[in-house]
Structure 1
Amino acid sequence: MNRMMKAISLNAKIVVILALLLSGVHLFVKKAAAAEFNLPLNTNVKGVLTKNITSNTYTVELNKAGRFFLNVTSYVDSDTYIRLLDDENDVVFDDYTSGSSESPAKYTNWVDLEPGKYFVEIYNKYDWDENIGNYTLKATFTAANNNEVEQNNGTVNAQPLKFNQAVTGFLSWNDEVDFYKVTLPKAGRFHIDLNTYIDSNTYIKLLDNNNETVFDHYTEGSSKNPAKYYNWVDLEPGDYYLEVYNKYDWDDNTGKYILKTSFTPANNNEKESNNGTIEAQALPFSQTVTGFLSWNDTIDYYKFTLPKSGKVTFNSVSYVDETTFFQLINSQNDELLSDYVEGSSKNPAKYSKTIELKKGTYFFKVYNKYDWDDNTGKYTLKITSPVVLAPLTVDKVSDKSTVIKGKTAKNQEVIVKASGKTYKKKANSVGAFSINIPKQKAGTKIEVSAKNKYGTKKVSITVLDKTPPKTPTIKKATVTYVEGKGEKASTIYVYKGSKLVGKATVGKKGTFKAKISKQKKGSKLVVYAKDKAGNKSGSKTVKVK
């Protein structure tokens, strides 16, 4: 009975085994567990794959961000599989190389990584018997030495970027984007200078505070042939975000870059917003306004009122790159003028246009007609008209004058500036004015102005020299020259009767020596001086000795 039961039990086991085999289930002898090792940098490490050891794992610690290199020499017959994982078991790369014990495979790979723990796995992927053998691996590392502050992967945690200070950034397998925050205190030109060692494409984007794209560009280079990228854009004040990124998550778009920005303020004094007729900035006559067209402000409106019909002149100096458009419309939105100039920040364009206008209100528009990125920059604008300013004429003033006289509008205040002092007085009921001042030196510049609600009319006059030089003194008069002293820079004339016999210029020391045609002793000569203004001194009669 016992023998019968044992036979039945044995037969049952055989049946179970046969059933498992027929169903496709393979039975193997349990293999050894995968071995784990530390992988020191710059050290050759030997390993082996066998039928029982099908995988070896090596731990690598990176203390800094940088480029990790892995070199494997494999004597494994047929295929050696090589995998790199991060500390969350995400696969960085999974590759293989083919060789044999007689013709070993040489495998090299690199990847840009952030600091952390990583695992290199050498393994027999399909447990094939022929994928066994020895191998040697060596890991090396080059630090990026970046000084960007992580995490800076979005606008919320963007790293503040100071002007004129370079930052070294790094894009890697596990950090594909860097954000930098830039704050512009004024309107002006923002410059971006990028040197990139990234293989192969570096993408750079600028966003405004509403996440609208100002530009989105890329440049191509490598760690051996770094790319240089430069760009500028005219912007209004505010916060902006520079994004350096790996656009398509490609493994080879990683590496080090050096980013530097700078800023040139426009120093514009226009008043924003002035983007339409409703909010147009009032522009007084004869006053210069500095305006600025930018990526986010492509139009400026100015408003002026002409009190009576007459000529109006529009003057502009434009540093806009490259085309500046102008338009003049009346209060009914009828276009009266449409024009443009071409120039640049290095070669500014000058524009001047005079047009006859009727009494009324007008709007002058300066704008980027097609919203092109390069039609931005600084400009100046001045509107003048002879019909709106107070009339002003000034009489001549000499170095003997003690009064400034002239004509202007009735009861108009007149301002005189002379030798650092200011004198004011109102004209009378017919517009005549007379303002007392001290005597001024010849050549002094005097500014006379009259200001009304439309602007200031200015007249500049130069004090005339009406004071004759002193009569020259004679030291010696010979048959061939006359020698003496006189007013510096004046001209000495020597006459015999009505005939000019010689002349000379008085030198810096106040002396002269005038050569004359040969005279007889005892002859009488008349000597006088004349200054540059034509004033003539008294005469001196001398006898030739």
Structure 2
Amino acid sequence: MKKCFRMMMIFFLVLITTSYVIDNAQASSYLDNGKEYTGYITNENKEVRYSFVLDKPSEVSFETTTEVYGNRFNIYDDMNNALDSIFSQGSKATPQKSTITLDLKPGKYTFVSSVIDFSREEGKYSFKMKKKEFDVNEIEPNDGTTGATSIVFDKKYSGHLAYNDQVDYYKFEVPAQGMIELNGEGFIAGGTNIAVYDANNKSITRDHHSGSKITPSKFNETLYLKKGTYYIEFYTDRHWPERSGAYNFSVSFSNAHANETEPNDGTTQASEIKFGNKNKGFIAMNDTIDYYSFTNSKTEDISFSIESYLNGGLDFTIYDENNKSIRSKYTSSTHITPGVINFTENLPAGKYYIAIERGSYYDSYGNYNFTIGDSAITKFKDYSANAYWTQPFIWGMANDVIKGDVKSMKLSPYNKLNEVQWLAMIFRYSKPDEVKEDKNNWTKVYYDLSKKYSIPNSGKPYSALRRGDVAVIMAQAFQGKKVSEREAIQWMYDNNLTTGKDPSKPKDYANFGANDSLARAQAVVFLYRAIEEQDLEFN
């Protein structure tokens, strides 16, 4: 009788204790972060359920201890879908300690302690829930392109991939051809997966960056893209949904400043170009070939001058109007060290096409520029298709900056620059409507314009100019204000018009060589860089 009474008391205490735990969990509505809970599995009560709510994306851990063999701990979402579980082989003599950790999106969840129906195991278990919340600025749901979070350049964004939220999409607009820098870090178990798509869901790139939650992935991707709408996807491997966690990133944009007319992906779309113009193009990851067309009215030598900044190489091919290849050239190049192609081709009158495409390197993308010149420049005896001044001189001749000596048929690029030549170059480009040369005194108009626009000069048209004087005249003509020689030289440096006489030395007054003379070719290069490369404008 005493033994029977003792068993009834134990059973009664178990019921009371178990009921207390369940009521305790329900009394505060949901489980408290960091609080330890205790419960009992009995033959009459094989399952105990606890609720918890996540207001933010979180990493949730349940640290469990159980003396019940076959004790299973499960996590369910609010639709009763099983998310993850652990199975115990503990005993009263040796309780088993286990941890279940999941990244979860905000929502209501259930934590369940149970044994299978036919189990006769009984005993005590305990657990503690720990959660780590993440403050993110992604806008959910963003599980596809239609719900993608719109982002802007140079702003930091943060998101979270969960066991039950395995993909995030972001949308951005590229306003013109250029480079996109995608930078960030991922605190994601197993590493960070990133993909980029165009507006038609065509994959641009897909990369995996190794890392973990304690040693985050560091990613810095450069994308060469044409104008358009794009999507960034952060995703977990569908076979490993537990590989989840938080990430952050930003996107920046650099304009390629191309002046080609897109689309120009074939001969029917070719951009028409003119002799002497500097044509600036861009090879993108989703735009790998550009076509141009030109027409010459007579058989003549046509000069071609190309600079490639593609990271790998560039192919340059000329076709006739029947798509027959006339000449093909290749140059290797990098974004820092350009590849140069200069050559002259004798072409009969007709229409021609130029095709520019990336070389054999799959990831060869970036900027390029080229200029073509007709017999207006190639007719001169000292013209060179392989000089540092080739492209500037083609441009200068087409824009009336230089004329050349038709008596000697020379350009004289290495002759010392004199004062009137420099003033003529400046005003022929900046004030073409006001330049009216007198056949009897052709220099007069340039000194008249110098006086009108307050451009300093010595009044000695044929005296060789100091480099310092060249800088002062140029700086004042562009800025429209008086400057000292040192200020003018610094302006030249600041606008990347010169590296000084020795590029390995500091960009200072001494390295500019203010008292040295300057060649005509160097002067044309200064103007070319200012107008075509730095987009400076005369005041």
TM-score, length of structure 1 as denominator length: 0.67
Kept in 1, the 8 Å contact 2:419–2:460? The answer is: no
Equivalent-residue separation in structure 1 for 2:89 and 2:365 (angstroms): 59
Shift of 1:438: 5.7
Relative distance call for 1:418 and 1:202 in structure 2 (3 A) is closer
1:159 matched to 2:171? The reply is no
Unaligned runs of 5+ in 1: 1-30, 405-413, 445-460, 467-531, 533-545
Relative distance call for 1:274 and 1:312 in structure 2 (3 A) is same
Q: Which residue of 42, 55, 63 corresponds with 1:63?
A: 55
Kept in 1, the 8 Å contact 2:191–2:217? The answer is: no
Partner AA of 1:172 in structure 2: A
Per-residue deviation, residues 89-144 of structure 1 (Å, max 9, x unmatched): 11111321111111111011100011222111111213321x21111111010112
Q: Which residue of 369, 372, 386 corresponds with 1:380?
A: 369
The two structures, once aligned, show a CA RMSD in angstroms of: 3.5
Partner AA of 2:98 in structure 1: Y
Shift of 1:250: 1.7
Equivalent-residue separation in structure 2 for 1:348 and 1:367 (angstroms): 15
Unaligned runs of 5+ in 2: 1-13, 26-30, 378-397, 408-415, 452-458, 465-516, 518-539
Partner AA of 2:363 in structure 1: D
- Partner SS state of residue 278, structure 1: helix
Kept in 2, the 8 Å contact 1:176–1:249? The answer is: no
Q: Which residue of 2 aligns with 1:93?
A: 84
Partner AA of 1:59 in structure 2: S
Per-residue deviation, residues 9-52 of structure 1 (Å, max 9, x unmatched): xxxxxxxxxxxxxxxxxxxxxx9999645222111111111121
Q: Which residue of 44, 54, 59 corresponds with 1:52?
A: 44
Partner AA of 2:130 in structure 1: T
Equivalent-residue separation in structure 1 for 2:239 and 2:149 (angstroms): 22
Matches within 5 A, 1:89-488: 89-129=80-120, 131-368=121-358, 373-387=362-376, 392-393=404-405, 417=428, 423-425=434-436, 435=442, 437=444, 440=447, 463-465=461-463
Kept in 1, the 8 Å contact 2:289–2:356? The answer is: yes
Kept in 1, the 8 Å contact 2:150–2:171? The answer is: yes
Equivalent-residue separation in structure 1 for 2:320 and 2:147 (angstroms): 50
Q: Which residue of 2 aligns with 1:19?
A: none
Kept in 2, the 8 Å contact 1:425–1:433? The answer is: no
Shift of 1:350: 2.0
Relative distance call for 1:418 and 1:82 in structure 2 (3 A) is closer
User: Which one has a bigger Cα radius of gyration?
Assistant: 1
Partner AA of 1:115 in structure 2: P
Which structure has more strand as a fraction of its residues?
Answer: 1
Relative distance call for 1:399 and 1:209 in structure 2 (3 A) is closer
Partner AA of 1:201 in structure 2: G
Shift of 1:363: 1.4
1:81 matched to 2:72? The reply is yes
Partner AA of 1:161 in structure 2: I
Partner AA of 1:437 in structure 2: K
- % same residue: 26
Per-residue deviation, residues 174-210 of structure 1 (Å, max 9, x unmatched): 1111000010111111121131111113221111111
1:41 matched to 2:16? The reply is no
Relative distance call for 1:177 and 1:398 in structure 2 (3 A) is closer
Relative distance call for 1:438 and 1:307 in structure 2 (3 A) is closer
Relative distance call for 1:62 and 1:325 in structure 2 (3 A) is same
Equivalent-residue separation in structure 1 for 2:303 and 2:446 (angstroms): 38
Relative distance call for 1:281 and 1:434 in structure 2 (3 A) is farther
Per-residue deviation, residues 190-234 of structure 1 (Å, max 9, x unmatched): 121131111113221111111111112212211011111222221
Relative distance call for 1:462 and 1:124 in structure 2 (3 A) is farther
Relative distance call for 1:312 and 1:394 in structure 2 (3 A) is closer
Equivalent-residue separation in structure 2 for 1:243 and 1:188 (angstroms): 20
TM-score, length of structure 2 as denominator length: 0.68
Kept in 1, the 8 Å contact 2:420–2:461? The answer is: no
Equivalent-residue separation in structure 1 for 2:353 and 2:175 (angstroms): 29
Which structure has more helix as a fraction of its residues?
Answer: 2
Shift of 1:462: 8.5
